[in-house]
Homo-oligomer: A and B are copies of this chain.
Amino acid sequence: MDARQLPLAQPTQPERADATRNRALLLSTARALLEQNGVDNLTMDGLARAAGLGKGTVFRRFGSRTGLLLELINEIETEFQRRFLSGPPPLGPGAAPIERLVAFGRERIAILAVQGDLLRAADEGPDARFVSPPRAAGQLHISILLRQAGFDGDVDVQSFNLIATLDAALVLYENRGEQIEMRRVADGWEDLVRRVARPRS
């Protein structure tokens, strides 16, 4: 039985529209707070205050801080996937495969530079970082582009190796622990892709 087909004493349409508006407002406010203060400083209280909504509304919408973080991660990953699958070139279709590969890593590193702590939090647990759907989507994307570029090596293994170099925790450690600027990390990705993609002979 589909609840949407039941006649309702109280029409829910207006409430749903409110909820949708609140959700969009809360997520965009949360992203602005994240970019300003980092994930550790993002609290349910702070979000409610910044969005001008009650704390109860925030908890009803996300359940918990973890629920909020998961929605933010999902939104960031979905948006990135949409951009590399169907957005404008060179990240999206229309550019040469190698240029799309270069853009993929550069854009990923740019996202990690801002949202890295949040995305890293999604990777905790021994195998979580490998089995996450966004990583699988990224690796599939890399392997498709390598094939389109006529790559003459083992596509499965090298797409695995390439996506490993874009791991959130790795890039953040490279940048903060080893003091390598994000610009060098991104230039290194481009150089790696161009070297790997050249024909063997």
- Point out residues on A near B: beta carbons under 8 Å: 120, 124, 126-127, 129-131, 153-154, 156-158, 160-161, 164-165, 167, 169-170, 173-174, 177-178, 180, 184-185, 187-188, 191-192, 194-196, 198, 200
How many protomers of this protein does the assembly include? 2
Q: Roughly how many angstroms separate A124 CA and B128 CA in the complex, as a whole number? A: 12
Contact of A158 among B160, B164, B169, B191 (CB under 8 A): B191
Across the A-B interface, the 10 shortest Cβ-Cβ residue pairs: A157-B188, A130-B173, A161-B165, A153-B191, A164-B164, A195-B196, A154-B188, A195-B195, A160-B174, A164-B165
Main SS at interface, chain A: helix
Would you mind naming 11 contact pairs between A and B with Cβ atoms under 8 Å apart?
A: A124-B126, A127-B177, A130-B170, A130-B173, A153-B188, A154-B184, A160-B178, A160-B180, A161-B165, A195-B195, A196-B196
Return chain B residues, CB-CB under 8 Å to A177. Answer: 127, 130-131
> Nearest CB to that of A194 among chain B residues?
B200
Return chain B residues, CB-CB under 8 Å to A173. Answer: 127, 130-131
CB pair A180 B157 closer than 8 Å: yes
Q: Roughly how many angstroms separate A181 CA and B36 CA in the complex, as a whole number? A: 45
Q: Roughly how many angstroms separate A177 CA and B154 CA in the complex, as a whole number? A: 17
- Whole-angstrom distance from the CB of A156 to the nearest CB of chain B? 6
CB pair A178 B165 closer than 8 Å: no
CB pair B187 A154 closer than 8 Å: yes
Q: Roughly how many angstroms separate A63 CA and B56 CA in the complex, as a whole number? A: 50
- Whole-angstrom distance from the CB of A168 to the nearest CB of chain B? 10
Q: Roughly how many angstroms separate A145 CA and B167 CA in the complex, as a whole number? A: 24
- Whole-angstrom distance from the CB of A137 to the nearest CB of chain B? 15
- Whole-angstrom distance from the CB of A173 to the nearest CB of chain B? 4
- Whole-angstrom distance from the CB of A101 to the nearest CB of chain B? 14
